[in-house]
Amino acid sequence: MLDLGICATKLEVAGIPHGIDRAEAIDPGKVAIRLANGGGFVKLALHPYAATLLQREVTAYAAAAPCPPFRRPALLGCHDGGDWGALWLTLEEGRVPARRSALVPRSGPYESVPTTLLPVEAILAHPLPPRFEAHRLRLLERFAGEPIRCGPIHGDFVYWNLLTDNGRPTLVDYEHFEKCAPASHDRFQWTVLPLLRRASAWGRATSSLAALAAAPLAYGLAPPKTAWPVLELALFLIRFGARIEAERTSPIVAELYAFPTRRGQERLVKLIDHVLGGLLG
């Protein structure tokens, strides 16, 4: 049960001089607070892992803003309490787009930001969880020196993290922001992740279809003039899949999630593993 007294105490410690209008538990270990009297919005992280993600979000707000037409809330303040944290932002109104919007390809919010070229061996320099390590080694064997356009990414660019108001899209939740990652990541995530989530919920019957559809999807979604669309999609899948697998198998993170969520994560990483197997042979 959400304890408003704890939330009010955290706001006071963080130096946020507004009362609580409305509070809601969102992801495990996180509370979304609408402040009274138009004071803005606060995300409270009340678990060490949630606090770590919150600090990544603070880093994102210190970096370049997304490119037009995308906008983001303004950072009003933040507090690092060690195993907890607070992020104070302007309150942005708007509606989440319909689920079907994910079927329309969309450029990533940072694609117009200057980028650099990094070889695949630099992008995949570190070992991954066992489920994805064989895929990493296969990519390095084939494409180690292949240059990939890299730059900042939102890291969780999906329709439920977008608010639309009079045609102005506001992008929220920068917890997985990266300063330098494959620039095609957000573009692929916009369409591929919702499709994978739906397919993983449907069960085994969709796994083979997903694997067959992956390569054509890569060519349809990749940025213009991409030399290796399938490679770029594989990089998105392996990095995203490894992230979910690391969260799912970490005791400190797994304890936050109820069984249905953990089961859904397991199905998703299994499907990503299967699709990668089909892409890479």
Query: Tell me, what CATH number does 106's domain have?
Result: 3.90.1200
Amino acid at 264: G
Q: Are residues 158 and 105 in the same domain?
A: yes
pLDDT tens readout for residues 90-120 = 999 899 999 999 999 999 999 999 899 999 9
Q: Are residues 79 and 38 in the same domain?
A: yes
Q: Are residues 38 and 108 in the same domain?
A: no
Q: Are residues 147 and 241 in the same domain?
A: yes
Give the span between the Cα atoms of 237 and 189, in whole angstroms: 9
Amino acid at 154: H
Domain end (from 32, 62, 89): 89
Give the span between the Cα atoms of 81 and 261, in whole angstroms: 28
Q: Are residues 177 and 139 in the same domain?
A: yes
Residues contacting residue 128 through CB under 8 Å, at least 6 positions apart: 135, 136, 238, 242, 245
pLDDT exceeds 90 at position 172: yes
Query: Tell me, what CATH number does 27's domain have?
Result: 3.30.200.20
| Confidence at residue 77, expressed as pLDDT on a 0 to 100 scale | 97
Q: Are residues 107 and 76 in the same domain?
A: no
Q: Does residue 146 lie in a domain region? A: yes
**Once rounded to an integer, what is the mean pLDDT over residues 171-176?**
96
Q: Are residues 173 and 83 in the same domain?
A: no
| Confidence at residue 261, expressed as pLDDT on a 0 to 100 scale | 83
Please calculate the CA angle 53-3-171 and round it to the nearest 5 degrees.
35
pLDDT exceeds 80 at position 263: yes
Q: Does residue 137 lie in a domain region? A: yes
**Once rounded to an integer, what is the mean pLDDT over residues 1-10?**
92
Domain of 206? 99-280
Q: Are residues 127 and 252 in the same domain?
A: yes
Q: Does residue 94 lie in a domain region? A: no
Domain end (from 71, 89, 107): 89
pLDDT tens readout for residues 33-49 = 999 999 999 999 999 99
Q: Does residue 57 lie in a domain region? A: yes
Q: Does residue 216 lie in a domain region? A: yes
Tell me if residue 170 falls in helix, strand or coil.
Answer: strand
Domain end (from 89, 117, 149): 89
| Confidence at residue 202, expressed as pLDDT on a 0 to 100 scale | 81
pLDDT exceeds 70 at position 209: yes
Residues of the chain above pLDDT 70, percent = 99
pLDDT exceeds 80 at position 271: yes
Return mean pLDDT, the chain: 93
Q: Does residue 244 lie in a domain region? A: yes
Amino acid at 178: E
Domain count, the chain: 2
Q: Are residues 189 and 55 in the same domain?
A: no
pLDDT tens readout for residues 122-164 = 999 999 999 999 999 999 999 999 999 999 999 999 999 999 9
Q: Are residues 105 and 67 in the same domain?
A: no
Please calculate the CA angle 201-204-206 and round it to the nearest 5 degrees.
75
Q: Are residues 149 and 71 in the same domain?
A: no
Give the span between the Cα atoms of 55 and 57, in whole angstroms: 5
Largest CA distance in the chain: 58
Exposure b/e, 146-175, CB count within 10 A at least 16 = b: bebbbbbbbbbbbbebbbeeeeebbbbbbb
Q: Does residue 151 lie in a domain region? A: yes
Q: Are residues 56 and 143 in the same domain?
A: no
- Least trusted range by pLDDT, from 65-79, 99-113, 249-263: 249-263
